[in-house]
Every structure is written in C-alpha cells, then in structure tokens.
Amino acid sequence: EVQLVESGGGLVQPGGSLRLSCAASGFSLSPYWMSWVRQAPGKGLEWVANIKQDGSEKYYVDSVKGRFTISRDNAKNSLYLQINSLRVEDTAVYYCARGIPGEDAFDIWGQGTMVTVSS
C-alpha cells in the first residue's frame, strides 16, 4: 500500500524545536517533489515547504523562512522538517504530501502529526 506516515509532533514551549519525520512506504520517494502542509485547529490548509527530488531546491512560505528546514533522505525513503524558534501560531497538524510530477498537485498525504506550541 502506498502511504506516508508522519511522526515527531508533540507539545513544545515557545522558542523550542522539533524534528518531524515522514516515512514513505509502497513507493520510492526519489522521483517526487515532496511538501509539508499544515492546518491550524479549525482553520484551512497552508503550504509550508517543499523540496526537489535530489534536495537541490527548497522553498518555504514566508512565515517560516529562517526557522524551518526541509530535508530528505532518499536512501531511507524519508522526508523531514526541522522546526526551530517555534511560535504559538505554528500550532497545527503537519502533513507531508507527495507531488504529482509536472502538476504540483499533492496526490498522496500522510495522516498528519500534531504540533502544539504552548507555555
């Protein structure tokens, strides 16, 4: 079965850090752009970051630039998001998602991992 499974979320104080992971199974990560998308409680979807197949290009939404770092390890079939200097407004479910080649639509999503930033 083709799936993505996120892990690493939790409760963290403002200013803290977390590393989110996304493990792919049933397919190889290497041919695909991969993204992180988040959803604050009761709110809509927000694209956060994405990374090219070989990791040579990375893009971020303005609100996380300099604080979040996306990376991947194709050999481990995994995607990561290092999130530093966390703010209350970063509280959200974080999803990893696979991009359709040439379309930039997200066809496979993980179940999400919750990040709560609170003192």
Partner 1 sequence: DIQVTQSPSSLSASIGDRVSITCRASQSPSSFLNWYQQKPGKAPKLLIYGASSLQTGVPSRFSGSGSGTDFTLTISSLQPEDFATYYCQQSFIGWTFGQGTKVEIK
What residues line the site for partner 1 (CB under 8 A)? 35, 37, 44-47, 50, 59, 95, 100, 103-107, 109-112
Pick between residue 17 and residue 63 the one whose CB is nearest to partner 1.
63
Least distance from partner 1 to the Cβ atom of residue 80, Å: 19
Residue 7 belongs to what H/E stretch?
strand 3-7
19: nearest Cα among 77, 62, 72: 72
107: nearest Cα among 21, 26, 7: 26
DSSP conformational letter for 43: S
Least distance from partner 1 to the Cβ atom of residue 116, Å: 16
Pick between residue 23 and residue 46 the one whose CB is nearest to partner 1.
46
Least distance from partner 1 to the Cβ atom of residue 3, Å: 10
* SS3 label, residue 33: coil
Query: Residue 71 burial by CB count (10 A; 0-12/13-18/19+): exposed, middle or buried?
Result: middle
Pick between residue 57 and residue 104 the one whose CB is nearest to partner 1.
104
Least distance from partner 1 to the Cβ atom of residue 15, Å: 28
